[in-house]
């Protein structure tokens, strides 16, 4: 058994999220690569919430609907998830609360009286999850020492009591199967939000400004918590409008800055985005997508804001848009996005979604290329300073306040080279040309990166095309089917040539997207590329591997 | 640097007699004085919004950020937090300070961040050719309210006092000496400073005669007394025909936002090592 899934479910407030992470870290100790899918409603207490921890000997970035272990802290965890059960799924449940009825034969179960155990040990109700983790550890034949080690590292409050409760669960459950440790080393386990945060820090981030909004709030929390460690200024102002305008103030003063939000907050940021384009102020904007329109489904996932971020803001200006596929790409491209923003004095958008932001991945930093903070082009102090000096590349050398020898004027209005407002026709045109030239040079610079990735059977005539967090599920499905995957990571400026190269030998192109209108398909169509089939999902849930394979059945023979 | 150096080549396009000239001349004089006293002008950043007032940054030869309507305050806040050694002076119209950007003004006062906001309050939208603003008197006939407004103006000073501003003054575009005094005091104040300038728009709402009959200068007030300041601020509600006080209403020193916010700012950190530590913790 070297590829299996563990489901843990309960009601909001049961600590399911943390419990899922602890289970993942236990399995991580055994050398497994892992991915956690989190599913929860926008409710603080009550409601049904669950995590699926999937592990494998190889790297993975998707979950399966079918699970091998089901840990039930409430009745919903069984009743709502019967379709997840296999013939040999092992269920561990709170026998004080959960009744198992009408389950398929062959299913093995282990009931633990969690409420009773907690009461006997004088524990708190939330410690039921520690108890069930103890039971699960026994079920997989884990050595107690490993569980204890993981608890010691991950639990700061009432550790001894949690351990005592876990030990009761461990002793009262039965062993179901012996999960053998692998020879892999253990990797850090990170959420997409954390990987984005670390990538930004690597790129020299000095300030992070955000208004809370799922699914990007985790990034705000992570950076706020690490602010002191990284000497980072983290601010939560009055609105997303204030967020982006404050950030542009930082940018003007020469401090590398990023903001984070979701579609709704990004709506409010668009005037600031356009200002960044006009005033040529570097900024990185993290957009974690969730289903719209409007409030939509706050705690679920979607990929329906691609055209929104590509086109947001009045007027025409270059922008860098990148959509990483997993935690490692999130780290890598967040650093690159910051560098590009400063080099080209233009906004960079990191387009993520709830699956990436809140998904948890094994993170292998050694798999990534060399990354560092790159310097922007600075004023050489030879001629008198002009903030918007016209140059061949369109990039005007930067200088920052305070500088005795320079006056630095930025302007949202059409302006001359010095930054003084103008309405003269020729100057307006020249400056627009200058800003657009930056986009052309940015496109050239991007040639040094792998902007379009290809996976699976590279000679196959059938290819899946996907973007963002669908990378993992498409790769695994394609490998199983012997077909190819094309995953454009950079979406603006669109890497036309690299994309064309990736299509070699492809006759049947199938797009896989978490939206209802096939937004990537229409984007590539703009550049003259057509698709043959679409697999779309827009119910707020990501594709699971088994679901995608099922939907591919008729299309790939 | 002399006064002359503070001008730019930009052609001034305000209407003749515009109250903005008084603000421009006063701020230039104050900047010049600051410079004379040894505060280097490269450490000054001016921020403006959109509207007639906003052109002021094109006319002064110091660092500036010509921002967008309603957003002077967050831009100024960001610049100040990025570098607290800078003096950041924001200019906004009554449209963008009290209309589109009101939330930011309230939060800057609440935070007590050391930026100065100078409001060119002409109580009419000038550049969009004459509509009512949040401080237009009841019944104001503008192009969007041809039968007269049916809502009372707000009293921005009262709003600022209750929001936590620690320096509150009112100026008037007639009488440059008082305006200079207002500006200088505000710019040197530690904490959020706010000046509402009754800046007359000669084209769309010429109030010179009205104001000249009613304005008087505050003298001998206890500036730290909140209740006293509130009473004085409520004397005129921007609607009634009563005497209009000019000068400083309130001034109090409490630790500003940037001082509390930046407590670990100077600490040198080894980021590479910290990233490594975080990754190890995540195993």
Judged by a CB distance cut-off of 8 A, whether residue A407 touches chain B is yes
- Domain ranges for chain A: 3-172, 189-367, 452-552
Q: CB pairs below 8 Å between A and B: how many?
A: 176
Of A241, A253, A401, the CB nearest to B71: A241
pLDDT tens per residue, range A139-176: 999 999 999 999 999 999 999 999 999 999 999 999 99
Strand partners, A513: A536
A window 421-440, beta carbon within 8 A of B: 421
CB-CB: which of B277, B280, B283 is closest to A28? B283
Could you tell me the CATH number of the domain that includes residue B229? 3.40.50.970
Give the per-residue pLDDT at B267: 64
Residue A277 near residue A312 (C-beta atoms within 8 A): no
Closest-CA distance of chain B to residue A227, Å = 9
Give me A85's structure tokens.
Answer: 């059960």
In which domain, by residue range, is B20 found?
3-256
Give the angle A390-A391-A397 at the CA atoms, nearest 5°: 85
Query: Any idea which fold A189-367 has?
Result: Rossmann fold (3.40.50)
**Most B CBs within 10 Å: which of A22, A246, A334, as the mutation test of the B interface?**
A246
Q: End-to-end distance of chain B based on CA atoms, in angstroms?
A: 60
Disruptive mutation site among A156, A401, A427 for chain B (greatest number of B CBs within 10 Å): A401
- The CA distance from B68 to the nearest CA of chain A, in Å, is 7
State how far Cα A344 lies from the chain centre.
25
Report yes or no: A154 at the B interface, CB cutoff 8 Å: no
Nearest CB to A403; choose among B42, B65, B279: B42
C-beta of residue B243 within 8 angstroms of C-beta of residue B235: yes
Please report the DSSP string for A197-214 in residue order: HHHHHHTT--EEEE---T
Q: Which of B9, B40, B60, B78 to mutate to test the interface with A (most CBs of A within 10 A)?
A: B78
Note which residues in 335-394 of chain A have CB less than 8 A from chain B: 363, 365
Out of B62, B107, B282, the one facing A188 most closely (by C-beta) is: B282
Give me the mean pLDDT over the A386-402 stretch: 98
Q: Is residue B269 part of a domain?
A: no
Domain contains B273: no
pLDDT for B191 equals 98
- Say how many C-beta atoms besides its own lie within 10 A of residue B218's C-beta: 14
Task: Indicate yes or no: CB of B282 within 8 angstroms of CB of A248.
Answer: no
Contact yes or no for B244/B236 (Cβ under 8 A)? yes
* B193-198 and B215-217 beta bridge pairing: unpaired
Q: Do B75 and A363 touch (CB under 8 A)?
A: no
* Mean pLDDT, chain A, whole residue set: 96
CB contacts of B9 in chain A (<8 Å) are 420
Chain B contacts of A228, Cβ < 8 Å?
Answer: 264, 267
Residue B213 lies in a domain: yes
Contacts with B277 from chain A: Cβ below 8 Å: 229
Q: pLDDT of A171-206, one tens digit each? A: 999 999 999 999 999 999 999 999 999 999 999 999
How far, in Å, CA of B156 to CA of B137, rounded? 13
Given this model, what pLDDT does residue B175 score? 87
- How confident is the model over A322-353, as pLDDT tens digits? 999 999 999 999 999 999 999 999 999 999 99
The DSSP output letter for A541 is -
Q: Are A155 and A18 in contact (CB under 8 A)?
A: no
Inter-residue contact A519 to A303 (CB < 8 Å)? yes
- The answer to whether the pTM exceeds 0.90 is yes
Which of B46, B57, B82 should one mutate to test binding to chain A, selecting the residue with the greatest count of A CBs within 10 A?
B82
Alpha-carbon B60 to chain mean position: 16
Q: Do B42 and A406 touch (CB under 8 A)?
A: yes
**B86/A402 CB distance under 8 A:** yes
Same topology between domain A189-367 and domain A452-552:
yes
Burial of A193 (0-12, 13-18, 19+ CB in 10 A): buried
Q: Do A275 and B67 touch (CB under 8 A)?
A: yes
CATH code assigned to A3-172 = 3.40.920.10
Using CA atoms, how far apart are residues A489 and A466, in angstroms rounded to an integer?
9
Closest Cα in chain A, distance from residue B280 (Å): 6
With contact defined as beta carbons under 8 Å apart, do A457 and A530 qualify?
no
| Total tally of structural domains belonging to chain B | 1
pLDDT at A35: 98
- Residues B166, B171, B175, B179: what is their CA dihedral angle, to the nearest 10 degrees? 30
B74–A242 C-beta distance less than 8 A? yes
Does any CB of chain B come closer than 8 Å to the CB of residue A115? no
Answer whether A253 sits within 8 Å of B264, measured CB to CB.
Answer: no
ipTM above 0.95, yes or no: yes
In a domain, B197, yes or no: yes
Give kind and range of the element (H or E) at residue A342. helix A327-344
For residue A43, pLDDT over 90 is answered with no
Q: What is the DSSP string of B201-220?
A: BTTTB--HHHHHHHEEE--S
Strands (E), B135-176: 167-172
- Cα distance between residue B83 and residue B249, in whole Å: 29
Mutate to test the interface with B, among A252, A254, A280 (most CBs of B within 10 A): A252
Please say whether the beta carbons of B41 and B70 come within 8 A.
Answer: no
Q: Give the pLDDT confidence score for residue B1 in this predicted structure.
A: 43
A254/A250 Cα distance (integer angstroms): 6
B65–A252 CB contact, under 8 Å: yes
Q: Which residue has the tokens 């309050």?
A: B121
If you write DSSP's letter for every residue of A244-286 in order, what string do you get? Answer: HHHHHHHHHTT--EEEEE-HHHHHHHHHHHHHHHHHT--EEEE
> Which residues, other chains included, contact A395 with Cβ-Cβ below 8 Å and sequence gap of 6+?
A343, A344, A345, A377, A438, A441
The shortest C-alpha distance from A510 to chain B (Å) reads 37
- Compute the nearest-CA separation of B24 from chain A (Å): 16
CA angle A470, A13, A358 (to 5 degrees): 20
Partner B contacted by A138 (CB < 8 A): no
Q: What is the pLDDT, as a whole number, of residue B265?
A: 58
Q: In Å, how far are A299, A457, B271 from A465, measured between CA atoms?
A: 26, 13, 37
* A257 touches A400 (CB < 8 A): no
What distance in Å separates the CA atoms of residue A211 and residue B257, rounded to the nearest whole number? 18
Q: Read off the pLDDT of residues A258-295 as tens digits, 9 standing for 90 and up.
A: 999 999 999 999 999 999 999 999 999 999 999 999 99
Q: Which of A98-107, A177-186, A365-374 has the lowest mean pLDDT?
A: A98-107
On the CB side of A199, CA atoms within 13 Å amount to: 32
DSSP, res A75 = T
Q: Does A279 touch chain B (CB under 8 A)?
A: yes
Q: Pick from A518, A547, A515: which is nearest to A532 by CA?
A: A518
Record: contact B65-A279, CB cut-off 8 A? yes
pLDDT exceeds cutoff 70 at A101: yes
- Which helix (H) or strand (E) covers residue A490, if one does? strand A490-492
**Would the CB atoms of A187 and B267 count as touching at under 8 Å?**
no
CATH of range A452-552; options 3.40.50.920, 3.20.20.370, 3.40.50.1370, 3.10.20.90 = 3.40.50.920
Q: Report whether pLDDT(A42) > 90.
A: no
Strand boundaries in chain B, DSSP class E: 44-48, 64-66, 87-93, 116-121, 167-172, 193-198, 215-217, 244-251
User: Taking chain B (283 residues) in consecutive chunks of 10 residues, what is each chunk's mean pLDDT?
Assistant: 76 96 97 96 98 97 98 98 97 96 97 98 90 95 95 98 98 95 97 98 94 96 96 98 98 95 71 94 94
Helix (H) or strand (E) holding A170: helix A159-172
Chain B contacts of A198, Cβ < 8 Å?
275, 278-279
Distance (Å, whole) CA A390 – CA A515: 41
Q: Does B266 fall in a domain?
A: no
A106 Rama class: left (phi>0) / alpha (psi -120 to 50) / beta: left
3-state secondary structure of B115: coil
The reported pLDDT for the residue numbered B128 is: 87
């Amino acid at each position: 058994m070297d590829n299996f899934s563990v489901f843990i479910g309960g009601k909001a407030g049961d600590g399911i999220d943390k419990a899922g992470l602890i289970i993942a870290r236990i399995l991580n100790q055994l050398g497994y690569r892992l991915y956690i899918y989190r599913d929860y409603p926008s409710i603080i207490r009550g409601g049904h919430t669950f995590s699926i921890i999937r592990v494998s000997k190889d790297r993975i970035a998707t979950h399966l609907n079918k699970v091998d272990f089901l840990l039930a802290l409430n009745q919903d965890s069984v009743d709502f998830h019967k379709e997840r059960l296999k013939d040999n799924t092992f269920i561990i449940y709170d026998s004080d609360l959960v009744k198992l009825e009408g389950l398929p034969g062959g299913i093995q179960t282990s009931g633990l009286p969690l409420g009773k155990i907690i009461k006997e040990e004088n524990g708190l109700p939330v410690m039921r999850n520690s108890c069930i983790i103890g039971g699960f550890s026994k079920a997989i034949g884990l050595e107690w020492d490993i569980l204890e080690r993981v608890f010691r590292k991950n639990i700061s409050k009432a550790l001894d009591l949690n351990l005592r409760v876990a030990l009761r669960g461990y002793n009262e459950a039965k062993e179901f199967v012996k999960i053998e440790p692998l020879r892999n080393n253990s990797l850090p386990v990170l959420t997409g939000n954390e990987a984005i945060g670390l990538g930004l820090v690597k790129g020299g981030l000095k300030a992070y400004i955000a208004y809370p909004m799922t699914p990007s709030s985790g990034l705000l929390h992570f950076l706020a918590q690490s602010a002191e460690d990284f000497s980072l200024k983290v601010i939560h102002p009055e609105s997303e409008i204030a967020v982006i305008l404050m950030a542009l103030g930082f940018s003007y003063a020469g401090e590398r800055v990023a903001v984070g939000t979701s579609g709704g907050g990004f709506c409010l940021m668009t005037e600031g985005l356009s200002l960044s384009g006009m005033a040529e102020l570097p900024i990185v904007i993290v957009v974690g997508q969730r289903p719209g329109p409007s409030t939509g489904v706050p705690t679920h996932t979607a990929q329906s804001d691609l055209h929104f971020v590509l086109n947001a803001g009045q007027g025409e200006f270059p922008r860098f848009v990148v959509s990483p596929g997993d935690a490692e790409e999130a780290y890598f491209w967040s650093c690159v996005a910051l560098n590009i923003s400063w080099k080209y004095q233009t906004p960079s958008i990191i387009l993520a979604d709830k699956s990436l932001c809140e998904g948890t991945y094994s993170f292998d930093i050694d798999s990534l290329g060399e990354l560092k903070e790159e310097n922007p082009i600075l004023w050489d102090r030879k001629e008198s300073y002009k903030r918007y000096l016209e140059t061949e590349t369109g990039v005007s050398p930067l200088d920052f306040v305070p500088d005795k020898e320079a006056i630095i004027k930025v302007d949202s209005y059409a302006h001359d080279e010095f930054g003084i407002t103008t309405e003269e026709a020729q100057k307006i045109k020249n400056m627009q040309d200058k800003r657009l030239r930056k986009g052309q040079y940015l496109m050239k610079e991007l040639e040094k990166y792998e902007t379009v990735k290809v996976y699976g059977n590279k000679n196959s005539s059938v290819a899946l095309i996907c973007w963002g967090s669908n990378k993992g599920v498409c790769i695994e499905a394609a490998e199983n089917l012997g077909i190819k995957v094309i995953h454009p990571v950079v979406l603006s400026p669109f890497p036309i040539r690299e994309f064309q190269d990736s299509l070699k030998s492809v006759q049947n192109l199938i797009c896989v997207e978490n939206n209802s209108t096939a937004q990537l398909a229409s984007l590539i169509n703009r550049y003259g590329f057509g698709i043959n089939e679409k697999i779309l999902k827009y119910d707020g849930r990501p594709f699971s591997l088994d679901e995608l394979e099922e939907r591919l059945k008729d299309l790939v023979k | 640097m002399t006064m002359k150096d503070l001008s730019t080549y930009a052609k001034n396009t305000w209407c003749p007699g515009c109250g903005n000239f008084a603000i421009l001349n006063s701020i230039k004089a104050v900047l010049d004085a600051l410079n004379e006293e040894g505060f280097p002008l490269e450490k000054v950043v001016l921020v403006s919004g959109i509207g007639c007032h906003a052109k002021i940054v094109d006319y002064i030869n110091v660092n500036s950020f010509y921002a967008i309507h309603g957003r002077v305050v967050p831009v100024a806040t960001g610049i100040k937090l990025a570098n607290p050694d800078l003096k950041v002076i924001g200019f906004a119209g009554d449209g963008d300070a009290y209309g589109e950007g009101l939330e930011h003004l309230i939060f800057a006062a609440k935070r007590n961040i050391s930026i100065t906001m100078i409001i060119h309050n002409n109580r009419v939208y000038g550049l969009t050719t004459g509509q009512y603003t949040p401080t237009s008197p009841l019944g104001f006939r503008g192009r969007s309210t041809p039968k007269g407004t049916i809502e009372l103006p707000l009293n921005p000073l009262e709003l600022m006092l209750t929001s936590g501003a620690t320096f509150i003054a009112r100026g008037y575009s007639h009488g440059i000496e008082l305006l200079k005094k207002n500006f200088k005091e505000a710019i040197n104040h530690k904490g959020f400073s706010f000046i509402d300038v009754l800046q007359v728009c000669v084209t769309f709402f010429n109030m010179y005669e009205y104001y000249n009959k009613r304005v008087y200068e505050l003298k001998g007030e206890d500036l730290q007394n909140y209740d006293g300041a509130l009473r004085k601020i409520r004397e005129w509600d921007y609607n009634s025909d009563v005497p209009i006080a000019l000068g400083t209403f309130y001034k109090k020193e409490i630790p500003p936002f940037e001082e509390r916010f930046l407590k670990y700012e100077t600490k040198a950190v080894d980021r590479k090592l910290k990233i490594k530590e975080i990754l190890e913790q995540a195993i």
